[in-house]
Structure 1
Amino acid sequence: MAQIFMNLSNYISRNISTQTKDRFSKPIVYISIISVALGVSVLILVFAITSGFRKEIENKVIGFGSHIEISFFDDNASYQKTPIEKNAAFLTQIKKLDNVKKIQAYALKAGIIKTSDEIEGIVLKGLDTHYDVSFFQTHLVRGKVLHLTDTSTSNEAIISESLANKLHLDTGSRMLVYFVQDPPRQRMFRVCGIYKSELSSFDQTYALCDLKHIQKLNDWNEHQIDGFEILLHDFSQLEKTNTLINQIIPFHLISQTIVTRNQDLFNWIGLFDQNIIVLLVLIIIVISISVISTQLTLMLEQIPTIGILKTLGCTNQHIRNIFLHISSRILIKGLIIGNAIGLILCLIQKHFHLIKLNPDNYYMSHVPIDIVWYHPVLINILIITISLFMLSFPTYFVGRKINITDSIRLE
Structure 2
Amino acid sequence: MELFVALRYLRGKRKIGFISWITYISAIGVCLGCFVLVVALSIANGFEKEVRDRIVGTLAHAKVLKHNSQPITEYQTLRDYVLDHPQVIGASPFISGKGGIEHEQVQDGIMFTGVDPELEHTVTEISQSIKRGQFFLDTLKSRRGRDFPGVVLGTGLANRLGVDEGSEVVLMSLATEEGELDPVPKMGRFTVSGVFQTGMHEYDANFVYVSIASAQNLLNMEGVEGIQIKTTNLFRADRISANVRDYLGGYPYSVVDWQTQNRSLFEWMKLERLVIFIVISLIMVVAAFNIISSLIMMILEKRKEIGILMGMGATSGSIMKVFMLNGVVVGFIGSTLGVLMGLGLCLIQYHYQVIPLPGDIYFISKLPVLISSFDVIAIYISANVICWLATLYPAWKASTMLPAESIRYE
Return the TM-score normalized by structure 1.
Answer: 0.78
Is the counterpart of residue 29 in structure 1 residue 23 in structure 2?
yes
The 3-state SS of whatever aligns with 1:369 is coil
CA offset at residue 220 of structure 1? 6.7
Structure 2 unmatched runs, 5+: 139-146, 179-185
Q: Cα–Cα, structure 1 residues 274 and 97, in superposed 2: closer, same or farther, change >3 Å? A: farther
Between 1:336-345 and 1:160-169, the stretch displaced more is 336-345
Partner of 2:55: 61
Aligned mates of 2:114, 2:170 — CA distance in 1: 14
Q: Cα–Cα, structure 1 residues 62 and 134, in superposed 2: closer, same or farther, change >3 Å? A: closer
Identity %: 20
Of residues 68, 71, 86, the one that matches 2:65 is 71
Of residues 163, 171, 176, the one that matches 1:169 is 163
Contact 1:72 1:84 in 2 (8 A): no
Q: What one-letter code is carried by the residue in structure 2 that aligns with 1:381?
A: I
Aligned mates of 1:83, 1:333 — CA distance in 2: 64
Of residues 111, 136, 140, the one that matches 2:126 is 136
Contact 2:291 2:390 in 1 (8 A): no
Aligned mates of 1:241, 1:391 — CA distance in 2: 50
Q: Cα–Cα, structure 1 residues 84 and 199, in superposed 2: closer, same or farther, change >3 Å? A: farther
Contact 1:122 1:207 in 2 (8 A): yes
CA offset at residue 344 of structure 1? 4.2
Aligned mates of 2:29, 2:207 — CA distance in 1: 49
Q: How does 1:7-22 map to 2 (within 5 A)?
A: 8-20=1-13
The 3-state SS of whatever aligns with 2:400 is helix
Q: Cα–Cα, structure 1 residues 283 and 96, in superposed 2: closer, same or farther, change >3 Å? A: farther
Q: Cα–Cα, structure 1 residues 95 and 45, in superposed 2: closer, same or farther, change >3 Å? A: farther
Partner of 2:182: none
Q: What one-letter code is carried by the residue in structure 2 that aligns with 1:17?
A: L
The 3-state SS of whatever aligns with 1:164 is helix
CA offset at residue 89 of structure 1? 4.5
Q: What one-letter code is carried by the residue in structure 2 that aligns with 1:135?
A: E
Aligned mates of 1:84, 1:111 — CA distance in 2: 23
Contact 2:63 2:229 in 1 (8 A): yes
Q: Cα–Cα, structure 1 residues 194 and 260, in superposed 2: closer, same or farther, change >3 Å? A: closer
Aligned mates of 1:317, 1:287 — CA distance in 2: 25
Aligned mates of 1:357, 1:301 — CA distance in 2: 58
CA offset at residue 335 of structure 1? 0.9
CA offset at residue 375 of structure 1? 1.1
Is the counterpart of residue 121 in structure 1 residue 120 in structure 2?
no
Aligned mates of 1:185, 1:257 — CA distance in 2: 31
Aligned mates of 1:65, 1:13 — CA distance in 2: 59
Of residues 43, 67, 75, the one that matches 1:86 is 75
CA offset at residue 274 of structure 1? 4.7
Aligned mates of 2:158, 2:85 — CA distance in 1: 41
Is the counterpart of residue 182 in structure 1 residue 177 in structure 2?
yes
Between 1:28-37 and 1:256-265, the stretch displaced more is 256-265
Q: Cα–Cα, structure 1 residues 49 and 101, in superposed 2: closer, same or farther, change >3 Å? A: farther
Aligned mates of 2:124, 2:235 — CA distance in 1: 22
Q: How many residues align?
A: 387
Contact 1:111 1:122 in 2 (8 A): yes
**For the aligned residues, what is the CA RMSD?**
3.6
